[in-house]
Amino acid sequence: MAGYLSPAAYLYVEEQEYLQAYEDVLERYKDERDKVQKKTFTKWINQHLMKVRKHVSDLYEDLRDGHNLISLLEVLSGDTLPREKGRMRFHRLQNVQIALDYLKRRQVKLVNIRNDDITDGNPKLTLGLIWTIILHFQISDIHVTGESEDMSAKERLLLWTQQATEGYAGVRCENFTTCWRDGKLFNAIIHKYRPDLIDMNTVAVQSNLANLEHAFYVAEKIGVIRLLDPEDVDVSSPDEKSVITYVSSLYDAFPKVPEGGEGIGANDVEVKWIEYQNMVNYLIQWIRHHVATMSERTFPNNPVELKALYNQYLQFKETEIPPKETEKSKIKRLYKLLEIWIEFGRIKLLQGYHPNDIEREWGKLIIAMLEREKALRPEVERLEMLQQIASRVQRDSIICEDKLILARNALQSDSKRLESGVQFQNEAEIAGYILECENLLRQHVIDVQILIDGRYYQADQLVQRVAKLRDEIVALRNECSSVYSKGRMLTTEQTKLMISGITQSLNSGFAQTLNPCLNSGLTQSLTPSLTSSSVTSGLSSGMTSRLTPSVTPAYTPGFPSTLIPNFSSGVEPNSLQTLKLMQIRKPLLKSSLLDQNLTEEEVNMKFVQDLLNWVDEMQVQLDRTEWGSDLPSVESHLENHKNVHRAIEEFESSLKEAKSSEIQMTAPLKLTYTEKLHRLENQYAKLLNTSRNQERHLDTLHNFVTRATNELIWLNEKEEEEVAYDWSEKNTSIARKKDYHAELMRELDQKEENIKSVQEIAEQLLLENHPARLTIEAYRAAMQTQWSWILQLCQCVEQHIRENTAYFEFFNDAKGATDSLRNLKDAIQRKYSCDRSSSVHKLEDLIQESMEEKEALLQYKSTVASLMGRAKAVVQLKPRNPDCPLKTSIPIKAICDYRQIEITIYKEDECVLANNSHRAKWKVISPTGNEAMVPSVCFSVPPPNKDAVDFANRLEQQYQNVLTLWHESHVNMRSVVSWHYLVSEIDRIQASTVASVSTRVHVHPRTWGTLWVEFESALN
């Protein structure tokens, strides 16, 4: 029966129809998959090519010449590859082969991919090549905790995803296809690292498309390029390669804890951040509390209490500061671990919590400590010096009292002898005692004056004690006068002069050196004795001449200006300082003390006492030595000390002379002379040792300050150069600046060793407790600050070099593209103009050549697109030119930290440029509203640059115009060719005869068909 099919045949036909339908569905699925892969891979390529200002529009077309492929490999690897610059097919094949050979050298397996496949735009093999590149450069670098050696890159990425989404309800990751359709996996991964951006409760109830859109949107905000669209994933079986590519981009974007290293995992971020905040809060509060304490300047006037206060400061410095420095270092280390999460955006760093903020507060504490020590230590030294003087007054007063007792006892003995009619024997001994007490009292008056001027807390008590001694000396003198005048035995001119000298000294010399306070305190108890009629004016005047040198207050030049108000009036501070540095009183020569009224022993006693006074003066002067705060003052102190040390060494000859005089002394003065000589030797040895130590300290300080000053001068010069550099659009010599900066970085590398060496010297001097600690710490801090600042400036310069280079390269490239398009337009107009007189062969050749012009235009398509993208990133340079004053304030961005008293700016701060009338310094308003002049090098004027954007838009319009012109010319040439073919066919038909047509009947329909085609072509 016709049309009947057997069961077997029917089943066969049905099977074939089923297979055909399956193949159709599979083909459609492959087409959809390839479409998604093409889109994903194109976006992935562009995110890397944008780094070299290139762009791919059509994956299959824009990789054919090999240039973009080579650029992609260069960006991914950091290597530089050769390339052919021609446009012929041979050059294209060669460029693609260069890329393939490079991949093979990196042990990348390429299966059945040849250079002509890519050059011909084979879709399947082009996608295969890009997937191979993604696998090698992005996915193969994935490493996960718990991975095994035999795991593939895909399996490692799957393991990372499973670890990241562990514990999330309703989320399961078993593959890179169906598990991702609902978008929950994407949201869970982002929530793991940025819980502040994703609400998983909302994700649980949203649609697939909503979840996918939200995940891709949030990921894009944190820097992950949107490689996929929701509709690409919300299908029955999403493309595995596209999903893997996107998930690996998430892996790259999120922070990772180093394998086996120190780091903070996503689960521990909040805990560590709270710990960090608590540590910072506690340390800042501690610092501010002690800054307030260190700023206190009310000191006790009691040396014991003040010394206790100073020891408390030293204990704080030695026992409390080091642990806090350790705590500060811990905060820095914890911040380093949290830094990747701060940069990622998981943590919002509050103002005042950056380690630099802590360093700033710490610097305030150090400065407050230095200022307190600067105020406290001189006060301690001053009170210690006053205490030494007070102790000397106390000690010498006891000595004087003892000698007065001895003198009074001797006088009583002589008085008894006189009553018995026996000649007295103790007149010389008594004269010696009184002479020694006279010298001690003279020194007491000077010392007490110093104590009063220095507001010493026991000065009043000592004034009363000195007054009492003076009364006793005067009383003893009166008794001597009475006793020896009765016996008419006091006939020696020596004794008369001695008594007269004491009276003269006590009457005039002492009182003149006292200020009104001390003078009035002593006068009340001394006036009755000083009016004794037994004192003759002639003897008094005779004694004055030999007492005057000793009464001169030789201690005065060595004391601080607060202790010598009576001598500093009318003198400029600098002049006074110079006088203090240069004045060195030389000890009196023994020959200058010779007097016919004095015995040899009396001369020796005065000589050794003057030497003792000189040594004590010099010791006090050395104990209060200033070290200087800068190089000129240090050099001045060093030069002055050399003179002092020379005088101290020369003093040894006076000491030898005093020793040689010891054999001339007889009892009872010999014992006293020997004691004074022994004390003189000990004090001189101490003085000489002190002087040598100070010379050594000054030498080391001078060496350190000299080196530190040289380094600071160099750093300051470099700073001035960088701050003053012109970064405006007028200065196009960026290449020269780049070379200069590279040379500067090399110099800084070399300087770093010098800086470290000087810093090590400072550390060593501080460890050795160098007495000029304040100066050393100040220079060390200045060097650290200046070094950090110059490094920040270098970072600013590097960014300006990049931005200015991009600026000038853009405008140069845009101008070059404009010229090329103009030349191409002129060539098209000149070369491809035609009419009906043009021959067919010529037109066909021109049409073939025009196709090559089309290739050139297509090449410019990516160039123009790249320039359009680059225009959006070009910074503004005209605001850097003072000749272009601002009409209104504009936003600027800080590219480094800048701190001054009036303003504090942090890197990345959005500030406002209020005035650009100075090139080197701008008037800037900080985010907190503070206004100050800040170096312009610290800022970048961000895009958009209107000139660049307008230029790119004009260029894009020019490209469209040239493309339209080419299309019109191409159509015109094809129309003329079609017209020629139409005319030719018409002529051939018209030339045909009935016989020829009848013999070729089968040709007739085809001829008319050709004629009709040519006619339509000519019309089009």
Q: What pLDDT sits at residue 529?
A: 32
Are 266-372 and 584-799 equal in CATH topology? yes
Q: What is the CATH number of domain 8-139?
A: 1.10.418.10
CB 229 within 8 A of CB 246: no
**Residue 255, both tokens:** 């922070």
**Residue 491, both tokens:** 């006939």
**In the 8-state DSSP scheme, what is residue 836?**
T
End-to-end Cα spacing for the chain:
55
CB 444 within 8 A of CB 509: no
917 C-beta neighbours (distance < 10 Å), count? 11
* CA 972/CA 835 separation, integer angstroms: 8
**Residue 340, both tokens:** 């990747």
* CA 165/CA 553 separation, integer angstroms: 89
pLDDT tens string 699-758: 999 999 999 999 999 999 999 999 999 999 988 888 899 999 999 999 999 899 999 999
Give me the torsion for CA of 9, 12, 14, 16, rounded to 10°: -140
Whether omega before 668 lies within 30 degrees of 0, making that bond cis, reads yes
24 C-beta neighbours (distance < 10 Å), count? 10
Which class is domain 266-372? mainly alpha
CB 429 within 8 A of CB 360: no
* CA 42/CA 232 separation, integer angstroms: 14
* CA 345/CA 331 separation, integer angstroms: 20
CB 557 within 8 A of CB 585: yes
Regions of the chain where pLDDT drops below 50: 1-4, 25-26, 488-583, 1001, 1003-1004
Q: What pLDDT sits at residue 530?
A: 30
Q: What's the Cα-to-Cα distance from 651 to each of 314, 611, 663, rounded to whole Å?
A: 37, 9, 20
CB 790 within 8 A of CB 850: no
* CA 1019/CA 681 separation, integer angstroms: 129
Q: What pLDDT sits at residue 310?
A: 85
pLDDT tens string 202-248: 999 999 999 999 999 999 888 888 999 999 899 988 999 999 999 99
Residue 153 CA, chain-centre distance (Å), reads: 42
Residues 6+ apart with CB under 8 A from 732: 808
Count of residues making up the chain? 1020
**Residue 897, both tokens:** 């930290």
Q: What pLDDT sits at residue 497?
A: 42
* Residue 834 exposure: Cα atoms within 13 Å on the Cβ side: 26
CA 193-194-197 angle, to 5 degrees, is: 155
- Tokens 């380690």 label which residue? 355
Closest CA to 879 of 803, 955, 954, 951: 803
Residues 6+ apart with CB under 8 A from 947: 878
341 C-beta neighbours (distance < 10 Å), count? 21
Q: What's the Cα-to-Cα distance from 202 to each of 183, 198, 215, 979, rounded to whole Å?
A: 12, 8, 12, 67
**Residue 229, both tokens:** 């669209």
* CA 580/CA 574 separation, integer angstroms: 10
Give me the torsion for CA of 278, 281, 282, 285, rounded to 10°: -170
* CA 314/CA 775 separation, integer angstroms: 17
* CA 803/CA 875 separation, integer angstroms: 7
Q: What pLDDT sits at residue 560?
A: 33
DSSP track, 422-445: PPP--HHHHHHHHHHHHHHHHHHH
* CA 210/CA 630 separation, integer angstroms: 69
Helix or strand or coil: residue 21?
Answer: helix
CB 631 within 8 A of CB 614: no
Q: What pLDDT sits at residue 1020?
A: 52
CB 427 within 8 A of CB 484: yes
CB 156 within 8 A of CB 169: no
Q: What's the Cα-to-Cα distance from 187 to each of 156, 214, 269, 478, rounded to whole Å?
A: 20, 8, 19, 111
Give the residue extent of every domain in the chain. 8-139, 153-253, 266-372, 584-799, 832-858+949-1020
**Residue 73, both tokens:** 């490999």
CB 648 within 8 A of CB 687: yes
Q: What is the CATH number of domain 832-858+949-1020?
A: 1.20.58.1060
Q: State the fold for domain 584-799.
A: Methane Monooxygenase Hydroxylase; Chain G, domain 1 (1.20.58)
Residues 6+ apart with CB under 8 A from 328: 283, 358, 359, 362
Residues 6+ apart with CB under 8 A from 146: 159, 163
Whether omega before 944 lies within 30 degrees of 0, making that bond cis, reads yes
**Residue 256, both tokens:** 């990772």
* CA 373/CA 382 separation, integer angstroms: 13
* Residue 160 exposure: Cα atoms within 13 Å on the Cβ side: 29
CB 395 within 8 A of CB 442: no
573 C-beta neighbours (distance < 10 Å), count? 9
CB 89 within 8 A of CB 116: no
Whether omega before 942 lies within 30 degrees of 0, making that bond cis, reads no
CB 83 within 8 A of CB 59: no
Which class is domain 153-253? mainly alpha
